[in-house]
Amino acid sequence: MNKNLTAFLATIAQSEGTEHISNQQGYNVLCGGGIFISYKDHPRQLIDLPRLKIKSTAAGRYQILARYFDVYKKQLGLPDFSPDSQDKIAVQLIRECKALDDIEAGRFAVAVNKCRSRWASLPGAGYGQRENTLAGLEKIYVGAGGVVA
């Protein structure tokens, strides 16, 4: 993985609010801030978030929904919900957004815009949840070692 992609993944984790909740870089975080203990499978816990008026199964560093994990587990031949599997899913999501080349080239703003449909915390996502600013995310990205073209 190149340094821009590694920094972009760290930025998503920070944006989604998982990075600093646990000592496992957010890989074991449930939506709402809880922790799960086994990576054998997606935790599949439906969490009620009354403040947002939603219920969600989002889990892990990139807040992957259980129903999407099932699809990507099969598609990518993943054995579990381990950090490695979560990273592979996040990279696949980025690839599907056609943002991988932008990330590698340092076109940070373009990549964020292309990925906003996958992560509710990205600016312009439009899911009615907290969205971070592009400037704030770029600061995180650069701090994580990413280079902006």
The tens place of each residue's pLDDT in the chain, 149 residues long, gives 799 999 999 999 999 988 776 667 899 999 988 999 999 999 999 999 888 788 999 999 999 999 999 999 999 999 999 999 999 999 999 999 999 999 999 999 999 999 999 999 999 998 878 899 999 999 999 999 999 99
Put simply, whether the predicted model's pTM sits higher than 0.85 gets the answer yes
Give, for 48, the enclosing helix (H) or strand (E): strand 47-49
Q: What is the dihedral of CA 67, 68, 74, 78, to 10 degrees?
A: -110
Nearest Cα neighbor of 122 from 141, 102, 105 is 141
Nearest Cα neighbor of 43 from 22, 63, 25 is 63
pLDDT of the residue at 22: 65
Q: Which domains does the chain have, with CATH numbers?
A: 3-143 (1.10.530.10)
Cα–Cα distance, 98 to 83 (Å, whole number): 23
Can 16 be counted among the known catalytic residues?
yes
Residue among 16, 96, 104, 138 flagged as catalytic = 16
Angle between helices 108-115 and 3-16 (to 10 degrees): 50
pLDDT of the residue at 84: 98
